Structures are given as C-alpha cells and as structure tokens.
Amino acid sequence: MTFAWLVALHYGVRELSASLSLPSRPTQALPLRWHLVRLVVGTLLPAIAFAAIVVFQLARLERRAVERRAVHSARMLAVAFEREMSGSIQTLHALAESEALDRGELEAFRVECERVRRTQPSWRTVLLFSPDGQPLVNTALAMGTPLAPITERESFARILESHQPTVGSLAVGRGASKQLAFPVRVPVMREGVLRYVLTAVISPDALTGVVSSPSSEGEEWTRVLVDPQGLVVARTREPARFVGQSATSPFLEKTRASHEGLYADVSMDGAAVYVAFSHSHPSGWTAAIVSPRRVLDAPVSGSMFAVGGLGLALLLVSASGAWVFSRRLERSISEAATAAASLAEGNPPHMEPSSVRELARLGEALERSGLLLRERERERDAHLASAETARAEAVAATRAKDAFLAMLGHELRNPLAPIVTSLELLRRRGLAQTPEHDVITRQLKHVVRLVDDLLDVSRITRGQMSLHREPIELVSVVARAVEAASPLIEQRQHSLQVDVPPSGLLVLADPDRLTQVVANLLTNAAKYTPPGGHIHLRAHDQEGGIALVVEDDGHGVPQELLSRIFEPFVQGPRSFDRSEGGLGIGLALVRSLIEAHGGHVEARSDGPGRGSVFTVWLPRHALAENTLTQEARAPVSQAAEAVPGSLVRVLVVDDNVDAAEALADLLGLSGYEVAVAHDCPGALARAETFRPDVAILDIGLPDVDGYGVAERIRERLGAASPVFAALTGFGQAADRERSHAAGFRQHFVKPIDVDALSAFIESLRPARSGAA
C-alpha cells in the first residue's frame, strides 16, 4: 500500500507539472482514485497471472499423468485379452495332438473335443476343417449331420498363409439363434504339412471378466475390446446395446494410424469422451479405455476457476482499499491544483498545510515558483521589447538594403548606358577596330554582368524572380551560352568540347535564364582552369529528365568548400591579383534558377588541382508545343504584316544628355528618323511637331517622370499617340508590371540591348495601304 501511495503522489505531481507547462489540460484525464485502482490492478495482475500459469502447468502435469495411466490401462487390457486367448490356444494345441486325428478317426476325435469343451466354459463349440475349408467336425451337431460352412473366412485364410494360431473377428452364427461369436484357430501340423484347422468358437460373454476391473466401476471409465474389423466385442457399459456394432469413424481412423494413444471423441452413446487405446499382439485386437472429458479436464478447469476467483477477490478488495484511501490524497492534490491554477493566472498561490510531506514541499515550491515567475515575466517583457526593437531595425535595414540595391542598379546603369551605346556607335562607324576597344568592350560587358548578377541575387532572395517559360531544345540554349562565354574561353586558350544532341532534349524553360545558367557554368570553368586547359560540356537523358554536365581539369574545389559552393559570395582560394574576377554569386544564381525550373544542381571534385564537375538536372518537357508565349506573339503578328521600306520616327527622351545623344546617333545609323528631348516640356514640344511612331522614355526624368510624360502626350495627340517603350535603370518585376500597366509596350533596362530595341521598332513598322 505504501508503494501505491507513492505512485499516486507521483501521478498527482505530474498532473500539476502539466498544468504549469501546458495551456490546456489533457482531454482524457482521469481522477486520482482511478489511477490508484489502475495501479492496484496493474500490480496484482502479473502475480495472479503467474499463479495461474503455475497452477495451469501443475494441472497439465496431473492431466498428463492421468492420460498415461489411461493408456497404461488400455495396454494392460490388451495384455489381459492376449492372456485369455493364450489359454484357449494352448488348450487347442493340446487337443490338436490327439492320436485319433493321426488315425483319421473323426468320431473318436469329436468325443475328445466334447470332453475338452466341457472344461472350457467360454467355448461354445469346437470345429475341425480341412485345409480346403470343408467342415469335418462340429461338436454342436451329431456325426452325419450336414455341417455348416466357414462363417469367418479372414482368420481362416490367415492361418493357411502363416500356419500360426490366430484369433478371428466377431461374426454372426449360422444357426437359428444367430448368436455372435468369434473363432480362435490353431493349425494341426503333421511332418511340416497343414492337415487340419482346429477352431474353438467363443462367445463375447466370455470376455466380460477380461474387460471388468475394479477401476471401471461407476460411470467414470468404460473398457472396450474391438476386433480387427472394428466391431465392438466386449464393453463394460451396456454390452447388450453396443456389442456387435461398429466403432465410431474417428476411433477406427485413430487406431489404424497408431499403435496406441489418446484422443478426444464422441462415444457411441453421444457423450464427449477421451479414448485411450492400445493394440494387442499378435491377435491385432484393440483395447480401449473410454473416459468422460470432464474427468480429465476437471483438474485444469478447477484450478483455473480457483485462481480466477481468488484473483478477482484480491482485485476487488485492493481496488476498494485504494478507492477509499485516495480520498484524502485527492483533497490535498486538488488544493495543489487550485494553487497551480492561481499561479498560472498570475495570482499568488495559496495551499493549506498537508500531512503528506511531498505535498507540503510541493506547496512551498509553488510559492517559490510564483515569485520566480513574476521575476521571469519582468525579464520576458524586457526581452520582448528589445526583440521588437531589433525586429523593427532589421525590417528597416532590409528595406534600406532593397532600396539601396535598386538605386545602385539604376545609378550604375545610367552611366553604363551611354558608354555601351557609344561603343556600339564606334563599332558601326568602323572606329572601334583597335585592341584597346576590344579590352574596353570586354571589361564593360563584365561590369554589366556583375551588376545584373548582383540585382538578380537580390530579386531571388526576395522571391521576385519571374520566369517566362516556353518549350525549347537544350541545344539552342547551349549554343547561345557557348557564344556568350567564347571570348573568355578563347582568351585563356581553352579547348572546349560540346556533346549535345541536336534534338530530343526538350525542356520547358525561360531561354534567357537557362542560357544565363549554362554561360555562368562555362565562365566559372574558364576562370578556374589554367590557360590551355580542357572544358567538356555534354547533355544526355538521366533518371527521367535531362542532365547537363560541365567538366574541367582546372583548380578543382576543396572538400570543405563543396557543401557551400552554391551559396552567395562563397569562392575558393583566390590569388592576390584576383585574376579570376567575379563576386562569388554566379553559382548561387545557377542553383536558384535551376531550382525555380524544378531541377537541381550538384558539384563534385576530387580535390585541388584535379578539376571539377557540375551537373544540372532538369525535368523533360513531354508535351512540347512549338508556340511562343502570349507576350511575344503580338509583335510577331504585326511584323508579319509589315511592309519594309517605311521610315519610322523615334522620339528619345532621357535627362542623361550623353545617353540620349548616343542612342539617337545609333538609331540614326540604323535608318530611323530620330528626335531627342531631355525633360517633359521638351518631350511635349517635340511630340507635337515631330509626330513620332515610337517614343522611348526614360522613367527617371526630373520634375515629371516617364509615366507622366506618356500621359500628357496621349492627352495632346489622342489617337495619333506613338507606341511607348520604357527605358530605365530599374529592372525588377514590380517595375516591369508598372510600366505595362501604364501602357508601355516594352520595358528596356539600361544599358539597352541594341538588337532587342531594333527588333522591337521593326515589329512596329506601319504597313502601307495600297501601292507604293
């Protein structure tokens, strides 16, 4: 009981702890008294189960002993039967030595047989047969009277074959009374030759003494003798009813399958019994001991009922004691729970002194916890205020960073735009043929790429990267990427091998972004491979998708860097002159863009100086359609109807004079009529007099931005308004969405792609009506 009390206290303390740490109580909580009852039951049940197992095993041992005694009794019954038959056989053997048989005096032999039969009360008659089955002597009939043929032939055939005494099966006599009897036969041998078969016919009543036994008195046991044909010959209970009938089918099946044993059966009178049997030798009869099942099952069932009753009584008494004892504990624990609830609500806990030492200590702990909680609440409020301040500062810093990056891109692109345009002008005028111009062009492209990569990383980090997907063959992307990376590869004198099938590798992707991925991988391989190295670009089917592999024999990647190689601003060991260049964001862009396409990328290297392998996996596009996106379809449609030769008027509005003049000169060289303005009033004036077909407006104009300029031009020109295109240093998705919402047909980011601008203007060339 002390152990039960301690465990109950443990449950109560655990409930209090749960009420302090959880906002709600368990939905399946039980009162303390039920836990005590469960404890008592859980404690006693193993002991009761152990006792039941022990008693059950003892009862099984006792039952096995009873079974062995039953089988032994059946064996002894078979031995008694053989002993009884042995006496008759010996008597027949003695009779078979008669000299009358040797002389052939059958009448004299019949007299001897009659004399011997009177000494054997169990014999009904003595018969003599010739080997061919002819009856010669029958003590029941006078000499000369016709004799009946053999009734039971199986034992007769057996003795002809074996020349050994045998006991036959039960048969119905041929007389008028049709009495049941069985034969005992012995051979009459002379000089090794069978001369006669001597038979004693015995009544089943003669076996009553054999099957009777002091242990078979009452209804507990039934002793049975069954002949080889399965007929009941002797039975202690109701012999008149069952002698001569065939034994049950299970009895015949079991006794023919085994020499002796015990099995469960239903007796001939319909009772559930156990049958122990044993075969006699050499006669082959079966002795059986039949016992009601309740006799053998009684030890096991009685023991189990006794253990079950005692165990149930113990459980009831113990559970009742635990139920009564729990009332005092429950009262103290309820007070502790109330004090804990007060503590949870922020009120000082109060608990009456308890006679239970552990509960008294619990009350003291609750009071200390109340003081500690109030102190922790003050600290928590201070930490929350500090965390809120830090969060506000972080949000402000993030916004400032985004604004700074956007402004950085704008401010960097503004000076880059006139430089790029001026270099293009020089190239078209044939003035950019010197090596110095090539150096400027390459380095300028490098700066533009760095700015684009930096802003792309910013957009991907904020989740603002948008993809314009379409079905494309991977070979076209590889061709554009190789073209973009060729200057660096040629400069470093690398050997580039490309193994990409011309068709069959179709993906659904943004062509520009995927080209950027492949170009970044090629550029990365070229930068980190010594001059004269080898780069291998290949693509093939892999795992239900497409794998693109870029392999080089360059510096390789240290193992400690492989796990972080795709993180922004992570780079391998660099020389002091930073000859490889870059900000360490190219591979970060590769991973972000590939994951946005539903693929993945991985890097592998055997270590420094052993090269590296970058593998990109993309899902295959199964339902390919050779269509463009809806955004690109309209200009192509218009261009299809265009008639070449019309002079397009283009208005360029930019507050950067150098950029505006350079772009105007470039468009003039391309065959367009160009006008330039640098602010809103100038743009309005030029639009009214020049009547442009296309207006390229810088969004970041002073006083009135590009959106306002476009709105004012529409108000003045109405239906004659030009097609507007935005030219700005802001290239984020939100900027593009705003320009399209404001009616701008295209959004160009500085420095402008001259080829893309020309393609846009050509798509808007007006069609002529009629003959030129």
Q: What's residue 26's pLDDT?
A: 46
**Mean pLDDT lowest for which of 430-444, 478-492, 599-613?**
430-444
| Residue-wise pLDDT tens digits, 593-632 | 888 888 999 999 888 888 999 999 999 876 543 433 333 3
Residue 213 in tokens? 């036994």
- Both tokens assigned to 607: 């270590």
- pLDDT of res. 141: 81
Q: What is the pLDDT of residue 411?
A: 64
What are 52-71's pLDDT values in tens digits?
787 777 777 777 887 888 88
Tens digit of each residue's pLDDT (9 = 90 or more) over 550-572 = 999 988 888 878 777 887 766 65
CB of 593 closer than 8 Å to CB of 517: yes
Mean of all residue pLDDT scores within the chain: 78
Using pLDDT thresholds of 50, 70 and 90, give the confidence band for residue 575: very low
CA distance 500 to 124: 112
Q: Give me the mean pLDDT over the 454-476 stretch.
A: 71
Higher-pLDDT residue of 406, 533: 533
Please give the pLDDT value at position 667: 87
pLDDT of 279 > 50? The answer is yes
**Segment 10-31 mean pLDDT:** 50
Q: Which pLDDT belongs to residue 723?
A: 92
Tokens found for residue 367? 């009071």
CA distance 289 to 268: 13
Note the pLDDT of residue 208. 84
Greatest Cα pair distance, the chain, in angstroms, is 169
CB atoms within 10 A of CB 510: 21
pLDDT number for residue 756:
83
Question: Sorting pLDDT into bands at 50, 70 and 90, what band is 696?
Answer: very high
**Residue 409 — pLDDT band, cuts 50, 70, 90?**
low
pLDDT band for position 549 (50/70/90)?
very high
What pLDDT shows up at residue 144?
Answer: 73
Q: For position 491, what pLDDT does the model report?
A: 87
Provide the pLDDT confidence category of residue 73 given band limits of 50, 70 and 90: confident
Helices 293-344 and 2-21: angle between axes, nearest 10 degrees? 40
Q: Which stretch of 113-117, 123-127, 441-445 has the lowest confidence by average pLDDT?
A: 441-445
Task: Specify the pLDDT at position 595.
Answer: 86
Q: Please compute, for residue 22, the number of CA atoms within 13 A of its CA located in the half-sphere on the CB side.
A: 10
**Band of residue 458 on the pLDDT scale cut at 50, 70, 90:** low
Q: Report pLDDT digits (tens) over 361-388.
A: 777 777 777 777 778 778 888 888 888 8
Domain boundaries 630-763, CATH class: alpha beta
Tokens of 635: 């200009």
Is 50 exceeded by the pLDDT of residue 665? yes
In the chain, domain spans: 123-295, 469-619, 630-763
Q: What percent of the chain has pLDDT over 70?
A: 75
Least confident residue range of 66-70, 235-239, 525-529, 575-579 = 575-579
pLDDT band at 653 (very low <50, low <70, confident <90, very high): very high
What integer is the mean pLDDT of 758-768? 72
Residue of 241, 232, 234, 235 lying closest to 222 (CA atoms): 235
Specify the amino acid at residue 229.
Q
Query: For residue 201, which of 183, 215, 187 has the smallest C-alpha distance?
Result: 183
Does 123-295 carry CATH code 3.40.50.460?
A: no
Q: 665 φ, ψ to 5°?
A: -60, -40
| Range of lowest pLDDT (175-184, 346-355, 710-719) | 346-355
**Of residues 433 and 340, more confidently modeled:** 340
Residue predicted with more confidence, 330 or 380: 380
pLDDT of residue 539: 93
Rg (CA), the chain: 58
CB 231 within 8 A of CB 245: yes
| Confidence category of residue 546, pLDDT binned at 50, 70, 90 | very high
* Average confidence (pLDDT) over 300-307: 68
3-class DSSP assignment, residue 180: strand
pLDDT at position 459: 60
CATH class of 469-619: alpha beta
pLDDT at 217 over 50: no
pLDDT band for position 694 (cuts 50, 70, 90): very high
Higher pLDDT, 396 or 456: 396
**Sheet architecture: strand order including 649-653:** 673-677, 649-653, 694-698, 723-728, 746-749
Higher-confidence residue: 351 or 651? 651
Give the single-character DSSP code of 231.
B
When pLDDT is cut at 50, 70 and 90, the band that residue 470 belongs to is confident
Two structure tokens written together for 56: 């059950």
DSSP result, 310-344: HHHHHHHHHHHHHHHHHHHHHHHHHHHHHHHHHHH
Measured CA to CA, the distance from residue 218 to residue 341 in angstroms comes to 75
For 692, the token pair is: 């442009």
Interacting residues of 535 by C-beta distance below 8 A, sequence separation 6+: 489, 494, 495, 496, 497, 522, 525, 526, 529, 550, 551, 552
pLDDT above 90 coverage of the chain, percent: 13
Q: In terms of C-beta density within 10 A (0-12 exposed, 13-18 middle, 19 or more buried), how is residue 312 classed?
A: exposed
Mean pLDDT of 232-252: 86
Higher-pLDDT residue of 754, 637: 754
